[in-house]
């Protein structure tokens, strides 16, 4: 009797083991997942890796788990790619499969669940929005139409700095004035508008709401509710604030800018093509029934986040590196003086004639990438990558910062050395012609704003260096370049005081 029971138990155990092996084989066949730390139930790897998945922490994980690894953040899959070949696969070869964007509970609020362009999935809506935005924003004609405006905004910065008490002795927080300049550069394109000063009440309101939006969206504070749906009720307060900021912002765009422009256009008797600003083109598309009013407002929202801060951060990083490397600053000034002539102010066409200026900009974007993980990508369906299975709707991060700062691919990458782009990396451009260097991404979802960002960077940095010696504040030998990262952004932590000594009166 006992023997029979033992026999039955052993048989049962044997069958159970065979079934378990078969199931695991079958599952293994269906999903060969990328390597990564072993997840625990419910939380996945979240407790192990924490919230702050910035480019440096993800680089450390890549060193441990390889060029492709998987993190399970609660219910969400996060795949991180850290080699030029895999970046090519995601952004180029399988650009359609990985061309969508992940959203999350907060981005869903700010984009009306993907009614915008930047954060929408890859498909018909995205194609239409990108097409509609191209003529008014992303062509050389736009650069030619607005470059005089950008040059005069940079000249106004130079004049204001000269007037600023103590700028040449105790210094000033230059970023504040440059922020006004960037708003003016973009609001000229969008609405043919500019703000007179940093104290302009409308500018202050706009800057405040955009700042809130960036802070709320880039924060890690809401991760728990995004990763673990049962915790979402605890996020109610946070999401309510997001809703309020979103409503106020969209209303501001509508009441003070879009509707104002509509009024102005309706009072004109003739339309003059040459005087059209971007929103006129976008409103034409709305009139033709291609997009609705919400889409128009989300285009304005997208430009406010994608264009202004990214370019401003890059200008700020460029200035910090020039202050901390006076020899590079001097070499740049010498180039400007010798190519343009002393005192001749740089204009947009000149930027092509100034290789060292171009190299300084490229090096800034390499070492201090404003969007070091690109904007997160996503695969709508199950996909294959690097020999692994990637479950549908995984968030795909390309660690572009590590691609451009990996000593296996770059000579002394930790050094700020523009010369590399004139010497061993002379063929590398910012437009993604080399998968080690993708400050603007590459492929379908790459940054269309590169065509505006590069000349604005050139004009701004060029004019500052031509007119001032840029120095750290008294008593300091260097500027603090501690980084501050967000969900996928990177900027300088401290907006430092800078001394600006006029070169010529
Ligand atoms: C130095 C300044 C800038 C940097 C470093 C930058 C970088 C980037 C990056 C890395 C992406 C994501 C690429 C990807 O996910 O594969 C992106 C997307 C985008 N950028 Fe920029 N950008 C800058 C300036 C601008 C400007 C000035 C504009 C507009 C005038 C702009 C508009 C956009 C838009 C609309 C997208 C989304 C494209 C899409 O999803 O199809 N950016 N940018």
CB of 82 closer than 6 angstroms to any ligand 1 atom: no
Specify if 474 maps to a domain: yes
What per-residue confidence (pLDDT) applies to 71?
97
What per-residue confidence (pLDDT) applies to 29?
52
Task: Tell how far the Cα of 477 is from the centroid of ligand 1, in angstroms.
Answer: 34
Task: Tell how far the Cα of 503 is from the centroid of ligand 1, in angstroms.
Answer: 34
Task: Tell how far the Cα of 311 is from the centroid of ligand 1, in angstroms.
Answer: 10
Cα atoms in the 13 Å half-sphere on the side-chain side of 69? 21
Of the candidate ranges 15-19, 53-57, 142-146, 209-213, the one whose mean pLDDT is the lowest? 15-19
Specify if 421 maps to a domain: yes
> Mean pLDDT throughout 62-73?
97
Contact by Cβ (8 Å): 416, 325: yes
What per-residue confidence (pLDDT) applies to 486?
85
What per-residue confidence (pLDDT) applies to 198?
96
CB of 303 closer than 6 angstroms to any ligand 1 atom: yes
Return d(Cα 502, Cα 168) in angstroms, integer: 7
Between helix 355-367 and helix 326-340 the angle, nearest 10°, is: 150
447 annotated to a ligand binding site = yes
pLDDT at 182 over 70: yes
What per-residue confidence (pLDDT) applies to 259?
96
CB-based burial label for 64 (10 Å; 0-12, 13-18, 19+): exposed
Q: Which atom of ligand 1 is nearest to the CA of 444?
A: 41
H or E element that contains 471:
strand 468-471
Residues 6+ apart with CB under 8 A from 276: 136
Average pLDDT taken over every residue of the chain: 92
Burial state string for 36-50 with b = 16 or more CB within 10 A and e = fewer than 16 = bbebeeeebbbeebe
> Mean pLDDT throughout 187-207?
97
pLDDT at 364 over 80: yes
Output the residue whose Cα is nearest ligand 1's atom 27: 307
Return d(Cα 435, Cα 84) in angstroms, integer: 5
What per-residue confidence (pLDDT) applies to 316?
97
Return d(Cα 496, Cα 316) in angstroms, integer: 9
Residues 6+ apart with CB under 8 A from 490: 54, 55, 313, 368, 369, 370, 371, 372, 401, 483, 484
What per-residue confidence (pLDDT) applies to 481?
95
CB of 441 closer than 6 angstroms to any ligand 1 atom: yes
What per-residue confidence (pLDDT) applies to 267?
75
Return d(Cα 50, Cα 104) in angstroms, integer: 18
Output the residue whose Cα is nearest ligand 1's atom 21: 447
Strand partners, 36: none
Specify if 8 maps to a domain: no
> Mean pLDDT throughout 38-59?
93
Three-state DSSP class for 72? Answer: strand
pTM: 0.92
CB of 370 closer than 6 angstroms to any ligand 1 atom: yes
Band of the pLDDT at 112, cuts 50, 70, 90?
very high
Residues 6+ apart with CB under 8 A from 235: 105, 222, 224, 225, 226
Band of the pLDDT at 21, cuts 50, 70, 90?
very low
Of the candidate ranges 38-52, 174-188, 353-367, 444-458, the one whose mean pLDDT is the lowest? 38-52
pLDDT at 16 over 50: no
What is the span of the domain harbouring residue 73? 31-502
> Mean pLDDT throughout 49-76?
95
Task: Tell how far the Cα of 179 is from the centroid of ligand 1, in angstroms.
Answer: 18
Contact by Cβ (8 Å): 375, 217: no
Q: Where are the alpha helices (DSSP H) in 325-420?
A: 326-340, 355-367, 400-403
Q: Which of 123, 358, 447, 492 to mutate to test the pocket of ligand 1 (most atoms within 8 A of CB)?
A: 447
pLDDT at 262 over 50: yes
Virtual torsion, Cα 104, 110, 116, 117, nearest 10 deg = -60
Specify if 3 maps to a domain: no
Contacts 24+ apart (CB under 8 A), 137-140: 137/189, 137/278, 137/303, 137/448, 137/449, 137/452, 138/448, 138/449, 138/451, 138/452, 139/451, 140/451
What per-residue confidence (pLDDT) applies to 2?
57
Output the residue whose Cα is nearest ligand 1's atom 31: 449
Cα atoms in the 13 Å half-sphere on the side-chain side of 340? 25
Return d(Cα 30, Cα 37) in angstroms, integer: 20
Q: What is the CATH number of the domain that holds 200?
A: 1.10.630.10
Nearest to 416 by CA among 458, 370, 363: 363
Between these two residues, 2 and 100, which has the higher pLDDT value? 100
CB of 118 closer than 6 angstroms to any ligand 1 atom: yes
Specify if 7 maps to a domain: no
Task: Tell how far the Cα of 340 is from the centroid of ligand 1, in angstroms.
Answer: 31
Share of the chain above pLDDT 90, in %: 87
Band of the pLDDT at 24, cuts 50, 70, 90?
very low
What per-residue confidence (pLDDT) applies to 252?
98
CB of 310 closer than 6 angstroms to any ligand 1 atom: yes
Specify if 263 maps to a domain: yes
pLDDT digits (tens, 9 = 90+) for 373-402: 999 999 999 999 999 999 999 999 999 999
Residues 6+ apart with CB under 8 A from 447: 306, 440, 441, 453
What per-residue confidence (pLDDT) applies to 26?
43
Band of the pLDDT at 31, cuts 50, 70, 90?
confident
Specify if 407 maps to a domain: yes
Nearest to 276 by CA among 170, 137, 444, 412: 137
Return d(Cα 366, Cα 368) in angstroms, integer: 6
Specify if 19 maps to a domain: no
- Sheet containing 100-101, strands listed edge to edge, beginning at the edge strand earlier in sequence: 68-73, 76-81, 395-398, 377-378, 100-101
Band of the pLDDT at 6, cuts 50, 70, 90?
low
Contact by Cβ (8 Å): 371, 490: yes
pLDDT digits (tens, 9 = 90+) for 215-238: 999 999 999 998 999 999 999 999
Q: Which atom of ligand 1 is nearest to the CA of 101?
A: 40
For residue 369, give both structure tokens. 């990438």
The domain tally of the chain equals: 1
């Amino acid at each position: 009797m006992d023997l029979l029971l033992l026999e039955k138990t052993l048989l049962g155990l044997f069958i159970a083991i065979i079934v378990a092996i078969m199931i695991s084989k079958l599952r293994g066949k269906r999903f060969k997942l990328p390597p990564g730390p072993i997840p625990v139930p419910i939380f996945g790897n979240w407790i192990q890796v924490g919230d702050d998945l910035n480019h440096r922490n993800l680089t450390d994980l890549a060193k441990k788990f390889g060029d492709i690894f998987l993190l399970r953040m609660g219910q969400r899959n996060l795949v991180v790619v850290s080699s030029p070949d895999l970046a090519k696969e995601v952004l180029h070869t399988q650009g359609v499969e990985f061309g969508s964007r992940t959203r999350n509970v907060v981005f869903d609020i700010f984009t009306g669940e993907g009614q915008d362009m930047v954060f929408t999935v890859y498909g018909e809506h995205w194609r239409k929005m990108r097409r509609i935005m191209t003529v008014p924003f992303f062509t050389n004609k736009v650069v030619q139409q607005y470059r005089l405006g950008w040059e005069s905004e940079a000249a106004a910065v130079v004049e204001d700095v000269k007037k600023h008490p103590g700028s040449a002795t105790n210094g000033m927080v230059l970023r504040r004035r440059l922020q006004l300049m960037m708003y003016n550069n973009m609001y000229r394109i969008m609405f043919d508008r500019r703000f007179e000063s940093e104290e302009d009440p409308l500018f202050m309101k706009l800057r405040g709401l955009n700042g809130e939006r960036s802070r709320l969206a880039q924060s890690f504070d809401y991760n728990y509710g995004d990763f673990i749906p049962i915790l979402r009720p605890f996020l109610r307060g946070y999401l309510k604030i997001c809703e309020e900021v979103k409503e106020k912002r969209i209303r501001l765009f509508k009441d003070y800018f879009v509707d104002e422009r509509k009024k102005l256009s309706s009072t004109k008797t003739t339309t003059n093509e040459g005087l059209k600003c971007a929103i006129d083109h976008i409103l034409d598309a709305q009139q033709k029934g291609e997009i609705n009013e919400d889409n128009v407002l989300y285009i304005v929202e997208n430009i406010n986040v994608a264009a202004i801060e990214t370019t401003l951060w890059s200008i700020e990083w460029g200035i910090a590196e020039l202050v901390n490397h006076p020899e590079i600053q001097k070499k740049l000034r010498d180039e400007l003086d010798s190519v343009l002539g002393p005192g001749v102010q740089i204009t947009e066409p000149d930027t092509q004639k100034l290789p060292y200026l171009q190299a300084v900009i490229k090096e800034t974007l390499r070492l201090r990438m404003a969007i070091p993980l690109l904007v997160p990508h996503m695969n709508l369906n199950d996909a294959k990558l690097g020999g692994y299975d990637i479950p549908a709707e995984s968030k795909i991060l390309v660690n572009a910062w590590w691609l451009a700062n990996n000593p296996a691919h770059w000579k002394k990458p930790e050094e700020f050395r523009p010369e590399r782009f004139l010497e061993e990396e002379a063929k590398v451009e910012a437009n993604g012609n080399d998968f080690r260097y993708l400050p603007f991404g590459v492929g379908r979802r790459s940054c269309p704003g590169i065509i505006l960002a590069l000349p604005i960077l050139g004009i701004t940095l060029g004019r500052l260096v031509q007119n001032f010696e840029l120095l750290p504040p008294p008593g300091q030998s260097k500027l603090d370049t501690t980084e501050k990262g967000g969900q996928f952004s990177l900027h300088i932590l401290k907006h430092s005081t800078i001394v600006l000594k006029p070169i010529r009166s």
